Structure 1
Amino acid sequence: MEFFTSYDGTTLAFRTLGDGPPLICLPGGPGRAADYLGDLGGLSAHRTLILPDTRGTGGSAMPADLATCRVDRLVADVEALRHHLGLDRVDLLGHSAGGSLAMLYAAAHPDRLTSLTLVTPSFAAVGLPSDTGVDEVIAARAAEPWHAEAVTAHRHMKTANTFAEAAPYRFAFEPLMYGRWDDAARAHAAADPAQRSLPVSEHYYKDYTPDSQELRRRLGALPSPVLLLAGEVDLWPTAKSAADAASLFPEAKLAIQPGAGHYPWLDDPQAFTAKVEGFLSEVS
């Protein structure tokens, strides 16, 4: 684990994994430490993954002001990490809520970006829906043995007002987030509570209102290539939402990974790594 000091004096942690050109990988959750990303399905064989823990999670200190955990304010932490690493420009990957953060960073610092990879990203930061057609995706998995329990848990989570209220139902709901509910998926989901900082989860989007028109203008002028990778059976974002959002960018490659859920590097590591590394190799 390595550390650096961000703009407000908060000590933030990151680790590096693998070999090759650097790739900064922003975790989601929101509020989940970067450990859950693992080696991104073997992507570390091709890239040096730089895996920061969002402030208040994992090895990073909890800030004095939790309002600094809001997604738009986290952009300054990403920029502080870039500066600490001594990188003039970065290849940036964001997963889930980290995808929202990555889009905001791209909009704020387009001149610091070489490429943008969005893996099953949330579009909340840019004011677009992530759940278009979600009921059809859930219904299509009705033959799975866990389906009824997961749907009930999903209903409870939708009516919860906070991440803490939703927490008791999360594990029963989790099969809907994976392409295969196997031992690896169960272990990955079971690790969530220990990796998640609920205060950060609660503040990630709190009081945030996107300037959607301005963000779409900036992203529409982004000079860097973009890979938007969605899972065929993911709920947030659905493949339909990802396809709709691709028009945000002038140069977006849309990839829908067959049979994949929210964590496509677990569902089919080879397919995931081939798609992401293929894109990054083209960029370089």
Structure 2
Amino acid sequence: MPFFTSYDGLRLHYDQVGDGPPLVVLPGGPGTDVRYLRDLGGLSAGRRLIRVDARAAGRSEVPADPATVSFVEQARDVEELRRHLGLETLDVLAHSAGSLTAQEYAAVHPYRVRRLVLVTPVGRAGREADPAEVAALRAARRDEPWYPQAAGADEQSPLGRARLVPFSWHRWTPERRRAEYVPGHATTLPWLRAAFYAGSATAETLPGRLGRLAAVRCPVLVMAGASDGLIGTMPARLIHQMYPDSRLEVFAESGHRPWVEQPELFRAVIEDFLGGGGVA
């Protein structure tokens, strides 16, 4: 299996799926095995997906220092991957929490990112869901049989987050759980989530962080799911407003994983964007 060695000697795993121009793929979670993304709804038919397991996740090694798992620090891993692959520039696609790493990388290495795709991103410099929007999206599902258990779940515990999964989808069935949630793909490290988000901006540092991100000049495609009861659409809208050269696509019949629920549209939008389509 292919590995590369990052700046601190840690061995990180990646694989390659499909054929065509390369597209670096960063998973969410945080801490989820990148294989949950599969071939991104068939995107591998025209792209070589370079799928990266983040440090302390999937098939990558766990660092001795948990502080290096912060999304701010993980941007350094992306640069080491670029050097390992011998690429001058990267097209980068990131999902959910991975969008924080991708945006940090683009801010630190602005001339290394050609185009950036952020799929249901959690925010700009941390988690930025609008509680009122998320509450409304969840309340709209009150007539579904799984709602009582999900509505009372504790978002801070692993079991609670598992019970919230149906809110992530436009349409939820038990069959979807069996198809999409593979045992062993989610992290079991109790400290990883907090370590990852430790890079989030505070009230004092947020203006400066947003200023750095807004200076990114590569084209940015931001994708949201209209039914995403996990984070809503507000994070994507805030990101779209921040980047001067960005395009927002809201998928009407998708939740947090639009490549599963609307794969044809998902592929078409990304191929158009990566092929040079405008962001207007």
TM-score (norm 1): 0.90
Matched, 1:273 2:267: yes
List per-residue Cα deviations over 1:159-205 (Å, max 9, x = no partner): x3xxxxx1122332211011221355312553265432424323111
Matched, 1:111 2:103: no
Alpha-carbon distance in 2 for matches of 1:203, 1:15: 25
The one-letter code matched in structure 2 to 1:130 is A
Q: Secondary structure at the match of 1:130?
A: coil
1:2 corresponding residue in structure 2: 2
Matched, 1:136 2:126: no
Greater helix fraction, Structure 1 or Structure 2: 1
> 5 Å matches for 1:209-248?
209=201, 211-248=205-242
Q: Secondary structure at the match of 2:144?
A: coil
Q: 1:19 to 1:119 in 2, by over 3 A?
A: same
Q: Secondary structure at the match of 2:71?
A: coil
The Cα shift of 1:242 comes to 2.0
List per-residue Cα deviations over 1:119-150 (Å, max 9, x = no partner): 00111x52562235111111122222222221
Alpha-carbon distance in 1 for matches of 2:200, 2:249: 29
1:94 corresponding residue in structure 2: 94
1:11 corresponding residue in structure 2: 11
- Greater displacement, 105-114 / 136-145: 136-145
Matched, 1:250 2:244: yes
Alpha-carbon distance in 1 for matches of 2:216, 2:277: 14
1:203 corresponding residue in structure 2: 195
The Cα shift of 1:9 comes to 0.4
Contact 1:178–1:185 (8 Å) recurs in 2: no
2:256 corresponding residue in structure 1: 262
List per-residue Cα deviations over 1:226-270 (Å, max 9, x = no partner): 000000011343123422331110011000011211111111111
Alpha-carbon distance in 2 for matches of 1:19, 1:272: 18
1:163 corresponding residue in structure 2: none
Contact 1:55–1:61 (8 Å) recurs in 2: yes
What RMSD in Å do the two structures reach over aligned CA positions? Answer: 1.9
Contact 1:178–1:261 (8 Å) recurs in 2: yes
**Share of identical aligned residues, percent?**
40
Q: 1:48 to 1:183 in 2, by over 3 A?
A: farther
Q: 1:195 to 1:240 in 2, by over 3 A?
A: closer
The one-letter code matched in structure 1 to 2:134 is V
1:38 corresponding residue in structure 2: 38
Alpha-carbon distance in 2 for matches of 1:184, 1:55: 30
Contact 2:24–2:93 (8 Å) recurs in 1: yes
List per-residue Cα deviations over 1:17-64 (Å, max 9, x = no partner): 001100001101001110111111111111100111011112111111
Q: Which runs of 5+ in 1 are unaligned?
A: 161-165
Contact 1:171–1:189 (8 Å) recurs in 2: no
- Count of aligned residue pairs for this structure pair: 274
Alpha-carbon distance in 1 for matches of 2:111, 2:188: 32
> 5 Å matches for 1:124-203?
126-127=125-126, 129-132=128-131, 133-153=133-153, 156-157=154-155, 160=156, 166-182=157-173, 185-188=176-179, 190-191=181-182, 193-198=184-189, 199-203=191-195
Contact 1:75–1:104 (8 Å) recurs in 2: yes
The Cα shift of 1:283 comes to 5.3
2:68 corresponding residue in structure 1: 68
The one-letter code matched in structure 2 to 1:168 is L
Contact 2:24–2:90 (8 Å) recurs in 1: yes
Q: 1:193 to 1:3 in 2, by over 3 A?
A: closer
1:56 corresponding residue in structure 2: 56
Q: Secondary structure at the match of 1:91?
A: strand
Q: Secondary structure at the match of 1:213?
A: helix
Q: Secondary structure at the match of 2:41?
A: helix
Q: 1:208 to 1:255 in 2, by over 3 A?
A: closer
Q: Which runs of 5+ in 2 are unaligned?
A: none
TM-score (norm 2): 0.91
